[in-house]
Amino acid sequence: MNVEFIDALKEIVKEKGISEELLFDTVEDALVSAYKKNFAKSGGNSQNVKVTIDKDNGEMHVYSQKVVEENPATVNEISLEDARQYDPKYQMGDIVDIEVTPKKFGRIAAQTAKQVVIQRIKEAERKVIYSEFVAKEYDIITGAIIRKDKGNVFVDLGKLEAVLCSNEQMPGEQYNFNQKFKFYIVEVKNTTKGPQIVVSRTHPGLVKRLFELEVPEIYSGVVEIKSISREAGSRTKIAVHSNDENVDATGACVGPKGIRVQNIVNELRNEKIDIIKWSNLPEKYIANALSPAKVIDVSINEDNKSAKIIVEDSQLSLAIGKEGQNVRLAAKLTGWKIDIKSESQASETLTSE
């Protein structure tokens, strides 16, 4: 140990944000183990040893610690008579520090300290990266595709890789090397190998964050996103509400000449987006949610939170959607069970009753 080494340790403390006390304590503990492994006599591993490092000049000392006992029985004990040869003030039960620093301990110490410091640096860097990304959990991030393995896609986020699992990939979307996408950070795990980031292209939160980026009124809180239902790669319904009667919520989301919503559609590889006007009246909200179909009548049952919808005969297939997608997304968006019938079907039901 020398002054240059101590200065280097203190510089690492500043750069990496490691606690100086923790770093020195860790190095000292590691040197205790190194001493016991390389210098302690047979059976000596059971002895109590401590190592001290002077934080100013780098001087290092190894001490064997012994407890003052009347009849010493172990290597960790010393008689009062022997203890007072070091210092006359010692009493029964005191701990005596006897220096046992080996002459050749410097080389072992330097090597051991180096290994500990390297490990601490790695741990500190992992901690910093974890803290940085855990703050971005449930947020949006841009990354580049770097490789594929067993159905998973790995994404370069700059400081580390993220994984896009197969169930978080948009159906039909191609992920080519070096291609950039926006991702939603689903989870940030702190593992023994460092931070693990899980990202998604299918999560409704991705759509929410994209609208917050594109629509200043949402970012400022004037327009509020009330609900989102999504079938990734195909269609999304988003319900919005304006907290300012002078601001049209749907118009703000669409943007001048549709540019805002089109930017989001482009990012989602032409996924269709229905922007729905939210209402605190269930009948009106449900009718809006079935857009682009036009609804004639809505009757609700609040007890089981279900709604019966009547549309024109020509609007039935549009209201239901391909393979039931439109009504399925509307039900998920509003939280109501929805049963749709055409005017003809409704008339037939009344007649049969």
Q: What is the DSSP string of 197-228?
A: EEEESS-HHHHHHHHHHH-HHHHHTSEEEEEE
262 occurs within a structural domain: yes
Sequence-ordered alpha helix ranges (H) in the chain = 3-16, 20-38, 80-83, 105-134, 204-214, 216-220, 249-254, 259-267, 282-289, 316-320, 325-334, 343-352
Last residue of one domain, picked from the residues 147, 166, 200: 200
**244: which DSSP letter?**
S
- Mean predicted confidence (pLDDT) in 302-308: 96
Element (H, E) at 231: strand 223-231
**Is there a single domain that holds both residue 48 and residue 69?**
yes
* Domain at 102, CATH number: 3.30.1480.10
Q: Which residues contact 327 (CB under 8 A, 6 or more apart)?
A: 290, 319, 320, 321, 338, 340
Contact 229, 223 (CB under 8 A): no
- Binning the chain into helix, strand and coil, the percentages to the nearest 5 are 40, 30, 30
Last residue of one domain, picked from the residues 173, 200, 227: 200
Task: List the Cα angle 30/24/76 in 5-degree steps.
Answer: 50
Task: List the Cα angle 205/207/210 in 5-degree steps.
Answer: 110
88-115 tens-digit pLDDT: 999 999 999 999 888 888 888 878 877 8
206 occurs within a structural domain: no
* Domain at 236, CATH number: 3.30.300.20
Q: How many residues appear in the chain? A: 353
**168: which DSSP letter?**
G
The tally of domains found in the chain comes to: 3
Contact 197, 180 (CB under 8 A): no
CA–CA gap between residue 271 and residue 153 (Å, rounded):
21
**Is there a single domain that holds both residue 245 and residue 290?**
yes
Paired strand residues for 224:
241
25 occurs within a structural domain: yes
Contact 311, 342 (CB under 8 A): yes
Contact 62, 49 (CB under 8 A): yes
**Is there a single domain that holds both residue 288 and residue 227?**
yes
Q: What percent of the chain lies above the pLDDT cut of 90? A: 68
Angle subtended by helix axes 105-134 and 3-16, to nearest 10? 10
**Is there a single domain that holds both residue 54 and residue 180?**
no
**Is there a single domain that holds both residue 124 and residue 142?**
no
**Is there a single domain that holds both residue 147 and residue 238?**
no
Contact 286, 305 (CB under 8 A): no
> Tokens for 341?
């019938």
Domain boundaries, position 42: 3-131
Per-residue pLDDT, 327: 98
**Is there a single domain that holds both residue 19 and residue 122?**
yes
**Is there a single domain that holds both residue 191 and residue 299?**
no
Last residue of one domain, picked from the residues 131, 161, 187: 131
296 occurs within a structural domain: yes
Per-residue pLDDT, 347: 87
Q: What percent of the chain lies above the pLDDT cut of 70? A: 97
**Is there a single domain that holds both residue 25 and residue 64?**
yes
Per-residue pLDDT, 92: 94
Q: Which range is least confidently modeled, 55-69, 235-249, 319-333?
A: 55-69
> Tokens for 36?
């016991």
Rg value, the chain, Cα: 35
**Is there a single domain that holds both residue 288 and residue 332?**
yes
Per-residue pLDDT, 290: 97
208 occurs within a structural domain: no
**Is there a single domain that holds both residue 233 and residue 299?**
yes
Which position has the higher pLDDT, 101 or 184? 184
Does residue 40 carry a pLDDT above 60?
yes
205 occurs within a structural domain: no
**Is there a single domain that holds both residue 273 and residue 183?**
no
* Domain at 150, CATH number: 2.40.50.140
Paired strand residues for 228:
238
- Mean predicted confidence (pLDDT) in 71-100: 91
